[in-house]
Homo-oligomer: A and B are copies of this chain.
Amino acid sequence: MDEFVSTFTNRLDAKGRVSIPASFRAVLAVDGFDGLYCCPTLDLQAVDAGGNRLRTTISQSLTSFPPFSEDHEFLSTTLIGESEILKIDGDGRVVLTDQIKAHAGIGDSVTFVGQGYKFQLWEPSRFIAYRKEAKDRLRDIRKRLLPGHRAAGVTSGPEE
């Protein structure tokens, strides 16, 4: 297990804690980062989460700008300043901060969406809408690429 795969939805308890899906915890353990690195996505009501691999990806996007340059300051303010490092308790749970919950519109449950080297946190119903939107868009793209054909070998799963 070295990639975040699949989607899970868990509930927050009275103290605001959520269990990170067990398979995601296994990936984090391999990644070797103590805690959960969380960064709000810029144009989605979601939060990117992960460990070292996510963090270094973000850091590296900063290295192309010299320190003290305007762009470097702007980027680090948004990417690092808005990020949070959540502690993972002994049972594999985290407490989401108010900023994270506000940004993603999260109430009493969270959907964890695996995306390889990172995963995203969503408010469940918002994620369902987003996924539908993404599928429709994918269909459009395929239609344009393969006019008059059905995509061979590229499945999108059962249509609902």
Contact = CB atoms under 8 A, between A and B. Distances in A.
Interface of A: 1, 3-7, 23, 37, 40-45, 57, 59, 61-62, 67-68, 70-71, 73-85, 102-103, 105, 113-117, 120, 126, 129-131, 133-135, 137-139, 141-142, 151-158
Nearest to A48: B68
Given A81-B114, A130-B153, 11 more contacts: A5-B80, A23-B85, A42-B138, A43-B157, A44-B73, A45-B157, A75-B137, A77-B120, A79-B138, A133-B154, A134-B153
Given A23-B85, A73-B115, A75-B138, A45 B80 contact: no
Number of copies: 2
Contact of A44 (B102, B131, B138, B151): B151
A103 B84 CA distance: 28
A138 B78 contact: yes
A157 B40 contact: yes
A61 B72 CA distance: 14
28 contacts: A1-B85, A4-B80, A5-B85, A6-B83, A42-B138, A42-B142, A42-B157, A43-B151, A43-B157, A44-B73, A44-B155, A45-B158, A62-B116, A67-B117, A71-B141, A75-B137, A76-B116, A77-B131, A77-B134, A78-B131, A78-B138, A79-B138, A80-B114, A81-B113, A82-B131, A83-B114, A103-B158, A129-B153
